C-alpha cells in the first residue's frame, strides 16, 4: 500500500501515475537518468536521478519506517519479515533485482515481471532497472512496469552501440546518423567518428538517452489514449525475442483479464496475428456464450461483417436488412467476423463489436479460420435448439467456415450466395429475399419497440449477467415502459423516469439510480459497499469497504452505503479497489442520500 504513488490512468496492465517524493511529483511511466557510472566493465557505481531524486529518497530520517529499494519477496526474504514486523510499512516502489536475468529467455522475461507485479500491491510503482532499450520499453510498460532508467542506454553508448527505435547498430556500421535528436542533427557521422573515445562515448550515450526519452513520451501518450497494445504489436515486430515475449504474455489470460477495461472509446485495430489473442477478443467470445440468450426465432440468419461499425449503419447491412425486413420477426441475425467470431445483432453496439478494424483482403489464414469456426461451433452447440433452420447469406471464406461447421450439426442450412458471388450482389440479395419469403408463413415485422428492447436486454445481460436484461425491460402492471431515441441512442424509461441509456461512445448501457434500484438484486457482480458518507464526483479507494472481484475499469457499478446509494463507472478493478489506498475507484454519475 502506498502513500506516495497514485495510479491515474490504466490501459491494461500499463499505468500512468503520480509518484510524490520529497523532491516533487513525478509522473510514471518514468525514465530515471543515471548520473555517473564506470565505463567499460558495465558496473554501475552511482545511480541517481536529476534534482537529487535518490539522495532525497534515501534520507532515512524522512521516513518513519526502515526503507529500502530492493524489497522484492521472490528475491528478498526480508520483505515478508518486515511486513510482519511492521504492518504499517509503506512502500512506494519496488525494484526488480537481477533484472538482467530476464534477458536469458522470453519465458523468464514474462515470469519475472508478472510474478513480481502479482506479489506487490497495485498502488505501488514497479521499477525494472538497467535493461531497458528503446526497443523493449513499450512491452515493459505494457506488462505493468512503471519506472525504467537509462543505465543500459548509457552503457551501450560507451560500448559504441547506437540505439535505434527498432534495435541497435555499431557506430562503424552506419553511413549516416538516422536520427534528428539534438546530438545527431548537430553532427555528421564522420565528425562523430573523429572525436576522441571518451567524447564519442558521451555523445552516443546522450543520443541513446534522448531516443529513449522520446520513446517513453510516446508510450505515455498511448496509455493515455488507451491503445498501447496496438503500439506494442508494432514495436515487438523488430525482434524475435520480443515477439516471443508478446506471444507468451498472451497466454497469461488471468493477469490481463483482471487489468483490462471492459470498454474503451477507442477503435481496436486488429492488424496482426497477435491481435487474435487479445483479451478483449477472448472476453467478448466468452460473454457471447455465457451472458447472451438469443430471442426465440425460427430462422438463424448468418451474415458477414462490414467494415463500418456498428454493422447496421453500413451500406451492406442496410441491403441485407431491406431484403429480410418484412420477416424480421421470424429471423435471428448473427454476424460472422474475425477476430470476434460471432456477434449477435443485439450486441453490435457493445465494445469491441462496434470498435474494431481489421485488414480485409478476402484471405483468411488458418488460425483466423480455426478461431472463428470454434466460436460459431460453440454458439451453435449452445443455442441450436432455438432454431428450425439456418440461412447463411455468406460468400468466400465465410461460407466455407459456415459449411464446415454446420455439417456436423444435422440442421438444414440454406446458402443464398452462389460460389464466387458477392453477398451484396443483386442476384444474391434477391435470392435471400425469395428464400426468406418462402420459408416464412406470413409477414412478421419487428415493431420499433421490440427491436430496441432486444438490444437493451442483450446489452444488460452482457454487462451484468443473464437475467438483468429481462429484469430491466419487464414492466409490472400499470408500469409504462418506453424506449425513446434514434439508433443507437436509446433511452429506457418507466412511467417517465429514465432507467437506462445506451452510451454509444463506449458501447455500454448506463443505469440511472431508478434503473439500478429496479434490478438491484441482479447486480451482485457489480456491486460495491462504501463507507459512511455521501460521495460527490468520485469515490476514492479508501472509501470502498467491499467491491465485487468481477468489476473492471469502465464497468457500470452500483454502490451503496449507510448514507448513500448510487451508480457510476469503475475506474479501477474491484480487487484493486480493495488493495489500494489511493486513487479514484468510481466516477459517480448519480447518487441519492439515504435516510434523509
Ligand atoms: Zn540522435
pLDDT at 56 over 60: no
Ranges of each domain in the chain = 5-254, 292-439, 449-593
pLDDT at 202 over 90: yes
CA distance 170 to 178: 13
The environment of the single-atom ion ligand 1, i.e. residues with CB closer than 5 A, is 179, 181, 184, 207
Residue 145 CA, ligand 1 centroid: distance in Å: 25
553-572 in b/e burial notation, b at 16+ Cβ within 10 A? bbbbbbbebebbbbbbbbbb
Question: Residue 49: what pLDDT?
Answer: 33
Mean pLDDT confidence for 381-392: 95
**Class of domain 292-439 (CATH, top level):** alpha beta
Question: Residue 94: what pLDDT?
Answer: 82
Residue 207 CA, ligand 1 centroid: distance in Å: 4
Residue 531 CA, ligand 1 centroid: distance in Å: 53
pLDDT at 37 over 60: no
pLDDT at 200 over 90: yes
User: How is domain 5-254 classified at the CATH fold level?
Assistant: TIM Barrel (3.20.20)
Question: Residue 113: what pLDDT?
Answer: 94
pLDDT at 266 over 80: yes
Question: Residue 61: what pLDDT?
Answer: 42
Q: pLDDT-derived band of residue 361, with 50, 70 and 90 as boundaries?
A: confident
Residue 64 CA, ligand 1 centroid: distance in Å: 44
Mean pLDDT confidence for 127-139: 94
Q: Which residues contact 67 (CB under 8 A, 6 or more apart)?
A: 58, 60, 91
pLDDT at 67 over 70: no
pLDDT at 58 over 50: no
Question: Which is higher by pLDDT, 142 or 73?
Answer: 142
Cis peptide bond upstream of 352, omega within 30? yes
Question: Residue 119: what pLDDT?
Answer: 84
pLDDT at 399 over 60: yes
pLDDT at 482 over 80: yes
Q: pLDDT-derived band of residue 491, with 50, 70 and 90 as boundaries?
A: very high
Residue 37 CA, ligand 1 centroid: distance in Å: 21
Residue 166 CA, ligand 1 centroid: distance in Å: 13
Residue 179 CA, ligand 1 centroid: distance in Å: 4
pLDDT at 218 over 60: yes
Question: Residue 60: what pLDDT?
Answer: 43
pLDDT at 133 over 60: yes
Q: pLDDT-derived band of residue 82, with 50, 70 and 90 as boundaries?
A: low
Query: How many DSSP H helices and E strands does the chain contain?
Result: 20, 28
Residue 75 CA, ligand 1 centroid: distance in Å: 37
DSSP 541: G
- Of the chain, the percentage scoring pLDDT greater than 70 comes to 89
User: How is domain 449-593 classified at the CATH fold level?
Assistant: Sulfate adenylyltransferase (3.10.400)
Amino acid at each position: 500500500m502506498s502513500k506516495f504513488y497514485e495510479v491515474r490512468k490504466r490501459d491494461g496492465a500499463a499505468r500512468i501515475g503520480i509518484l510524490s517524493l520529497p523532491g516533487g511529483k513525478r509522473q510514471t511511466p518514468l525514465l530515471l537518468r543515471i548520473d555517473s557510472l564506470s565505463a567499460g566493465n558495465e558496473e554501475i557505481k552511482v545511480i541517481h536521478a536529476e534534482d537529487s531524486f535518490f539522495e532525497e529518497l534515501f534520507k532515512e530520517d524522512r521516513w518513519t519506517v526502515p526503507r529500502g529499494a530492493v524489497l522484492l519477496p521472490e528475491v528478498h526474504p526480508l520483505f515478508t519479515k518486515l511486513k510482519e514486523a511492521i504492518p504499517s510499512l509503506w512502500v512506494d516502489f519496488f525494484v526488480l533485482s537481477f533484472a538482467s536475468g530476464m534477458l536469458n529467455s522470453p519465458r523468464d522475461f514474462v515470469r519475472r515481471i508478472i510474478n513480481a507485479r502479482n506479489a506487490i500491491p497495485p498502488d505501488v510503482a514497479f521499477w525494472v532497472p538497467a535493461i531497458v532499450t528503446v526497443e523493449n520499453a513499450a512491452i515493459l510498460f505494457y506488462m505493468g512496469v512503471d519506472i525504467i532508467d537509462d543505465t543500459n542506454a548509457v552503457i551501450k553508448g560507451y560500448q559504441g552501440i547506437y540505439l535505434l527505435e527498432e534495435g541497435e547498430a555499431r557506430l562503424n556500421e552506419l553511413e549516416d546518423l538516422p536520427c534528428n535528436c539534438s546530438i545527431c542533427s548537430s553532427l555528421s557521422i564522420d565528425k562523430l567518428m573523429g572525436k576522441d573515445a571518451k567524447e564519442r562515448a558521451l555523445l552516443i550515450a546522450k543520443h541513446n538517452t534522448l531516443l529513449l526519452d522520446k520513446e517513453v513520451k510516446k508510450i505515455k501518450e498511448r496509455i493515455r489514449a488507451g491503445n498501447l497494445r496496438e503500439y506494442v504489436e508494432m514495436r515487438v515486430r523488430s525482434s524475435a525475442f520480443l515477439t516471443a515475449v508478446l506471444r507468451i504474455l498472451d497466454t497469461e489470460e488471468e493477469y490481463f483479464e483482471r487489468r483490462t477495461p471492459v470498454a474503451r472509446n477507442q477503435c481496436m485495430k486488429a492488424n496482426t496475428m497477435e491481435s487474435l489473442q487479445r483479451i478483449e477478443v477472448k472476453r467478448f467470445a466468452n460473454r457471447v456464450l455465457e451472458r447472451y440468450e438469443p430471442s426465440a426465432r425460427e430462422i438463424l440468419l448468418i451474415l458477414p461483417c462490414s467494415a463500418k461499425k456498428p454493422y447496421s449503419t453500413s451500406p451492406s447491412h442496410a441491403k441485407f436488412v431491406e431484403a429480410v425486413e418484412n420477416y424480421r420477426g421470424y429471423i435471428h441475425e448473427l454476424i460472422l467476423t474475425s477476430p470476434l467470431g460471432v456477434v449477435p445483432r443485439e450486441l453490435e453496439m457493445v465494445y469491441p463489436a462496434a470498435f474494431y478494424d481489421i485488414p480485409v483482403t478476402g484471405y483468411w489464414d488458418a488460425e483466423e479460420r480455426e478461431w472463428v469456426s470454434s466460436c460459431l461451433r460453440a454458439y451453435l452447440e449452445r443455442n441450436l435448439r432455438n432454431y428450425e433452420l439456418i440461412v447463411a447469406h455468406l460468400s468466400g471464406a465465410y461460407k466455407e467456415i459456415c459449411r464446415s461447421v454446420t455439417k456436423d450439426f444435422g440442421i438444414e442450412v440454406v446458402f443464398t450466395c452462389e460460389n464466387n458471388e458477392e453477398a451484396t450482389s443483386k442476384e444474391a440479395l434477391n435470392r435471400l429475399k425469395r428464400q426468406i419469403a418462402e420459408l416464412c408463413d406470413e409477414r412478421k415485422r419487428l415493431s420499433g419497440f421490440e427491436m430496441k428492447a432486444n438490444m437493451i436486454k442483450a446489452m444488460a445481460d452482457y454487462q451484468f449477467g443473464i437475467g438483468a436484461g429481462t429484469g430491466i425491460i419487464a414492466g409490472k402492471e400499470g408500469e409504462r415502459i418506453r424506449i425513446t431515441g434514434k439508433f443507437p441512442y436509446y433511452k429506457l424509461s418507466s412511467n417517465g423516469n429514465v432507467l437506462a441509456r445506451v452510451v454509444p461512445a463506449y458501447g455500454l448501457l448506463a443505469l440511472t439510480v431508478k434503473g439500478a434500484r429496479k434490478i438491484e438484486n441482479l447486480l451482485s457482480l457489480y456491486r460495491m459497499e462504501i463507507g459512511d458518507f455521501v460521495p460527490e464526483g468520485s469515490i476514492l479507494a479508501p472509501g470502498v469497504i467491499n467491491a465485487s472481484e468481477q468489476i473492471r475499469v469502465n464497468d457500470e457499478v452500483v454502490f451503496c452505503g449507510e448514507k448513500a446509494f448510487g451508480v457510476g463507472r469503475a475506474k479501477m478493478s474491484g480487487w484493486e479497489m480493495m488493495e489500494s489506498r489511493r486513487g479514484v475507484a468510481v466516477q459517480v454519475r448519480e447518487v441519492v442520500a439515504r435516510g434523509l
